[in-house]
Structure 1
Amino acid sequence: MATAEETAAAVMTATTTATATATAASTVTPSTPTPAPTPAAATATDDAPTPAAPPRVPIPPRGVDYRGKLVLAPMVRSGELPSRLLALHYGADLVWGPETVDHSLIGASRRINPRTGMVEYTRQPSHSYSASAGPDHDPSAPLESVIYRLDPVREAGKLIFQLGTSDPARAVAAARLVAPDVAGIDVNAGCPKPFSVSGGMGAALLRTPDKLAAILAALAREIPRDFGIAVSVKIRLLETAAETEALVRRLVATGIAGLTVHCRTPPMRPREPAIRGQLRMVARLCREAGVACLMNGDVEGRDQAAALVREFGVDGAMIATAAERNPSCFRAAADGGLAPWPEAVERYLRLAMEVENKIANTKFLLTQMIPGKAPVYREVHRCKSYTDLVRALGHADQLGAMARETDRVLGLGEFEVRREPKQKAQQQKQQQKQQNGDGGDQQQPSKKRKREEPEDSERERERERERERERENAANEAGKQVTELAEPAPAVAPATVAV
């Protein structure tokens, strides 16, 4: 009889064959993975008792089962929409979006981009200088920043939304906003970076298991019931197997349907090899609770992932760094294996322009995919528009018109709308008020300016003291008896210096 891990490996291997046709197309066509064989049907006889099936947390109607899947990891800069679409093109079964913090999502607006058809969650930035505007932007309308973008067609049933949170009620409120557009909600309890742990999120939740369990229980209680999608969590290993075991037992009892374990502890960096000594134990605990278990950490491609699934008894695998370098790692060797980097780069550039991706993010991903020794690497770094990029990469003939239109929409290159720096604009506004005779409410110097000009302020105070001494000396020459010595005036703040 086939074991659970053999079944998962068989599904993953079967999926590689199904991707051969999909990778030949320029767009992703959703496909149904080959169903896992039923072990009982192959081996049971009329006389032999049918063994009890292992428990499984029910998968909601719109949800997805992580078993037998090879998926794209959540990555802050490398998990934006064009990266996810390229991973799907090359055979990824599911894709995780970048972690999005609940505070950012709550209060955001949902819109359909009329040019691209993409779903975009937007909000007004903290100040107008953090958002860009093309020439078509209405100056009377507030600028908006896109905080999350998804493809409702090519990502349908395949996108898992990763949530950064540290509060059960806030987690549920944020998940409710995006749940209709995604196939699952995943809680980030593994990211060790300061921007995540500083708010009690990410890996900080590993040290507050009560809070983490409460967040997962709240989500698992409401989101599957109201939206028909499942809830999962991504964690890291703790220092000892006993600590990890206690944590996993607690989490799989909250009602989640999936758990991904990154085989590194929070202090470990990506350059350090993954440690898999606790992986079999985590997989066993998940299996006993009916929760799908994915492994993450130094997974390089589909063929290696299938071998790791068989070796450690997990249900599937997640790829991060290797997909950042070349998303064709999701393609099995039998289906073509790794694509040459120029091919992957051209496909990525097309997708980035299709969805109006931010130029800074596009450049970052290109510099991950292009070898550092390639002559074009430095040229890409210098590019400031999509037109520059297609020229540098030698695709001006095929993609030049598309790049120019993207630049026009995003206000890049020749279409850039230059705005004066914020500080200069404030100075001009103050000067205008003074010219109009309304200079009473003068701005206090900023702390930054005070730090930058301490020497200038001190010299001005010294000159004022010198003028005061000169006036006193003139009075003495007139014959007045001076009873008080001329002493330097005490230092005063720059804002109160008489000019």
Structure 2
Amino acid sequence: MVRSGELSSRLLALQYGADLVWGPETVDRSMIGTTRKANEHLSTIDFTRLPSHGSKDPRKDQKESLIYRLHPEKEGKRLIFQIGTSDPERAVQAARIVAADVAGIDVNAGCPKPFSTSGGMGAALLQTPDKLCSILEALVKEISMEFEIGISVKIRLLETAELTEVLVRKLCATGITGLTVHCRTTPMRPREKAIRGQLKMIAKICRENGVACLMNGDVENRAQAEKLITEFGVDGAMIATAAETNSSCFRNEVDGGAAPWNEVVEQYIKTALEVENRFGNTKYLLNHLIPGKQPVYREVTTSKSYLQVCQMLKLEHLETKAKEIDEKLGITPETQSQGRRGKKNKSAMAAGGNQAKIRSIETDEKKGLSERGVQNQAVVTVDI
């Protein structure tokens, strides 16, 4: 789900009980050539690069593009870097750049969007299983052993249970530590009901090979996830759309369960301001977090700055910070009057940047995938 998981979204999910967070499908080519920088002001690690279309005149200052941002203290070893790739060598090259800062590397072999499949990545890899296996084997050999982190893969169901079984057995033989199955086939849309009939078979194969098995598809909250884990014998469950709508779906019932939308929105804005999240992305998420029937929803859709949003939502205590961040991001009255004229949505570019999908996995000892065997029962995995 592109754009639904910038750093601010991941941190909010962790605040509400997510145990691990997955980054976005970041294409290998977009990471290769980046520079790792410690952002002392934000306490983050930023991976940046000069735009490929920019001026090559060394006398001209060029603004670097932020490709990926992570917060080592708040997410650090609970963050899985999700890579979009179709080549073993590039996958290793890109993974090595970020491997020391994350808990694991996850290969996306389930995204059905054209920007991914047209490059032979995402769900297209399901049609080239030998290539997918070679990518995983390379990452296990070159990255997992060197950095002592886990390698995992996310897939979709194939046309028949027999084909899915063959694929899962091949993938488990590569040395991966985790496998996530989105319980839909590639052509299926999110509105179509998830198919769970193959889950027990997939979980059994994973268990036999010491691979953590995670499920995805139509999981609404932690309580439901726990029930599904018990029913199908998987190690974890993902939440996607529900998490995009209300990140407090990660919370246990004993901690209050789902929080009111206005509480979640306030916490999200606070977090977005703390990490100086791009306003366009923050606005996109707010349009999901604020119920469409609320009068303020339409107002926020027209907003052009953090300050305007805080005023619309009557968050007076955040207005000073909002104004400060607007200035840092270059949002001025002049830019607001220009609106979005001439701007294009860059979020699909390489599915990269610091967008993310959020998931959580909980084990008895809160271990990462690289430390987990099937003996460590996972409770829930969340993906937005």
TM-score with structure 1 setting the length: 0.66
Determine if the alignment matches structure 1 residue 100 to structure 2 residue 26: yes
Moved more, 333-342 or 197-206: 333-342
Q: Name the structure 1 match of 2:227.
A: 307
Residues 107 and 123 in structure 1, CA contact (< 8 A), matched pair in contact too? yes
Q: Name the structure 1 match of 2:326.
A: 407
1:380-399 pair list within 5 angstroms: 380-395=300-315, 397-399=316-318
User: Per-residue deviation at 1:382?
Assistant: 0.8
Cα distance between partner residues in 2 of 1:329 and 1:393: 22
Residues 191 and 203 in structure 1, CA contact (< 8 A), matched pair in contact too? yes
Cα distance between partner residues in 1 of 2:294 and 2:67: 33
- What SS is found at the alignment partner of 2:80? strand
Q: Name the structure 1 match of 2:202.
A: 282
Residues 300 and 309 in structure 2, CA contact (< 8 A), matched pair in contact too? yes
User: Per-residue deviation at 1:356?
Assistant: 0.9
* Unmatched tracts of structure 1, length 5 or more: 1-74, 130-138, 424-499
* Unmatched tracts of structure 2, length 5 or more: 343-384
Which residue of 74, 93, 98 corresponds with 1:173?
93
- What SS is found at the alignment partner of 1:403? helix
Cα distance between partner residues in 2 of 1:220 and 1:300: 32
Cα distance between partner residues in 1 of 2:251 and 2:202: 27
1:120-199 pair list within 5 angstroms: 120-127=46-53, 140-199=60-119
Q: Percent identity?
A: 64
Cα distance between partner residues in 1 of 2:94 and 2:166: 28
1:472-491 pair list within 5 angstroms: none
Q: Name the structure 2 match of 1:371.
A: 291
Cα distance between partner residues in 2 of 1:417 and 1:169: 44
Residues 305 and 336 in structure 2, CA contact (< 8 A), matched pair in contact too? no
- What SS is found at the alignment partner of 1:290? coil
Aligned-residue CA RMSD in angstroms?
Answer: 1.9
Cα distance between partner residues in 2 of 1:282 and 1:417: 51
Cα distance between partner residues in 1 of 2:97 and 2:325: 29
Q: Name the structure 1 match of 2:4.
A: 78
Cα distance between partner residues in 2 of 1:418 and 1:167: 44
Q: Report how many aligned residue pairs link the two structures.
A: 338
Deviation digits for residues 286-313 of structure 1, max 9, x if unmatched? 0011100000001111110110001000
Q: 1:190 to 1:362 in 2, by over 3 A?
A: same
Q: Name the structure 1 match of 2:380.
A: none
Q: Name the structure 1 match of 2:44.
A: 118
Cα distance between partner residues in 1 of 2:70 and 2:297: 29
Cα distance between partner residues in 2 of 1:176 and 1:418: 43
Cα distance between partner residues in 1 of 2:202 and 2:186: 17
Q: Name the structure 2 match of 1:336.
A: 256
Residues 328 and 339 in structure 1, CA contact (< 8 A), matched pair in contact too? yes
User: Per-residue deviation at 1:418?
Assistant: 9.9
User: Per-residue deviation at 1:76?
Assistant: 2.1
Cα distance between partner residues in 2 of 1:417 and 1:408: 12
Residues 408 and 415 in structure 1, CA contact (< 8 A), matched pair in contact too? no
1:237-316 pair list within 5 angstroms: 237-316=157-236
Deviation digits for residues 356-415 of structure 1, max 9, x if unmatched? 1111110010000101111111111111111111111111x2011100110111000337
Determine if the alignment matches structure 1 residue 204 to structure 2 residue 121: no
User: Per-residue deviation at 1:417?
Assistant: 10
Cα distance between partner residues in 1 of 2:40 and 2:122: 35
Determine if the alignment matches structure 1 residue 356 to structure 2 residue 276: yes
Residues 219 and 238 in structure 2, CA contact (< 8 A), matched pair in contact too? yes
Residues 307 and 319 in structure 2, CA contact (< 8 A), matched pair in contact too? yes
User: Per-residue deviation at 1:157?
Assistant: 1.4
TM-score with structure 2 setting the length: 0.85
- What SS is found at the alignment partner of 1:110? strand
Residues 304 and 336 in structure 2, CA contact (< 8 A), matched pair in contact too? no
Deviation digits for residues 115-160 of structure 1, max 9, x if unmatched? 212111111224459xxxxxxxxx9421111111111100021000
- What SS is found at the alignment partner of 1:294? strand
Q: Name the structure 2 match of 1:326.
A: 246
The runs of at least 4 aligned residues of structure 1 exceeding 6 Å deviation read none
Cα distance between partner residues in 2 of 1:86 and 1:345: 10
Deviation digits for residues 74-107 of structure 1, max 9, x if unmatched? x321111011001000001111011100000001
- What SS is found at the alignment partner of 2:66? strand
Deviation digits for residues 208-259 of structure 1, max 9, x if unmatched? 0000000000001111211111100000000100000000000000000000
Cα distance between partner residues in 2 of 1:363 and 1:126: 27
Cα distance between partner residues in 2 of 1:160 and 1:358: 22
User: Per-residue deviation at 1:416?
Assistant: 4.3
Cα distance between partner residues in 2 of 1:359 and 1:103: 26
Cα distance between partner residues in 1 of 2:299 and 2:52: 33
Q: Which structure has more strand as a fraction of its residues?
A: 2
Deviation digits for residues 18-69 of structure 1, max 9, x if unmatched? xxxxxxxxxxxxxxxxxxxxxxxxxxxxxxxxxxxxxxxxxxxxxxxxxxxx
- What SS is found at the alignment partner of 1:376? helix
- What SS is found at the alignment partner of 2:185? coil
- What SS is found at the alignment partner of 1:338? coil
Larger Rg: 1
- What SS is found at the alignment partner of 1:96? strand
- What SS is found at the alignment partner of 1:264? strand
